[in-house]
Amino acid sequence: AADVLELVKAVPPEVLLVIDEAYFEYLENPPDLLPLIRSGEHPNLLLMRTFSKIYGLAGLRLGYGIGGRELIAALEKVRQPFNINALAQAAALAALDDTPHLDRSRETNFLGMQFWQDALGHDGIEYVPSAGNFILARVGDGAGVFRKLQERGVIVRPMAGYQLPEWVRISIGIAAENERCLGALRAVLAG
C-alpha cells in the first residue's frame, strides 16, 4: 500500500496516472486512494475497476473509472453514447449491494489459493503466489500442458505470450474445480 501511495505522490501533476484496480476486491488490505481523488489533491489520478473479476460479471463487459471532476468530464467528451445497457447497469448496482456474495467470493478465492499453493508446493512445482484469482505454475512445456489439459476438458492459459513459455496460469475455482484441475495436471505431468 505504501508503494502505491509513493507512486501517486511521485507522478508529476501534468502526467495522467491510471491505476488498474481489477483485482482490488481480492486484496486483504488494499490501498485506499479514494481520499486522494475526493480531496482534489491528485486531479491526474484515474482508478479503473471492473465487474469481471470478483463480481463474476465478465460477460457484461462492465467497468468504471473513478477520478476528479475535470478528468471525468474530459472522458465524457469521448465516451461512446449508449455504452452501457440497462441490464448491465442493473447487474452492477445489484452486485455493489451484494456484500455477502463479495465476502463469499473472496473467501472461496483465498481457500482456493491456499489449496493450489499447498498442492503445487507438495508436488515440487514452482509457482508464483498471487493476490488475484489465479496462480502461475512452472510446468515445463506450457503450451503442451495447455493442449493436453484442454483435451481433458480443463482450461488453463499458456504464458508464452508473456515470455514465460514454461508456465501456465491456473484460475482459482471452487473446491471441486480446483480438485479436478489438479488431478488432470498431475496426470498430464506424469506423462
Question: What CA–CA distance (Å, rounded) separates 126 from 111?
Answer: 19
Question: What CA–CA distance (Å, rounded) separates 134 from 171?
Answer: 4
What integer pLDDT is reported at residue 28 of this predicted model? 85
Residue 161 is given by DSSP the state: G
Average pLDDT over residues 55-64: 92
Average pLDDT over residues 102-114: 96
What integer pLDDT is reported at residue 161 of this predicted model? 97
Enter the CATH code of domain 100-190. 3.90.1150.10
Domain ranges within the chain, ordered by starting residue: 2-97, 100-190
Q: pLDDT band for 15, please (50, 70, 90 cuts).
A: very high
Architecture per CATH, 2-97: 3-Layer(aba) Sandwich (3.40)
Angle of CA points 169, 56, 25, to nearest 5°: 80
pTM score of the predicted model? 0.84
Question: What CA–CA distance (Å, rounded) separates 3 from 1?
Answer: 5
User: Is the predicted pLDDT of residue 43 greater than 80, yes or no?
Assistant: yes
Question: What CA–CA distance (Å, rounded) separates 77 from 38?
Answer: 21
User: Is the predicted pLDDT of residue 1 greater than 80, yes or no?
Assistant: no
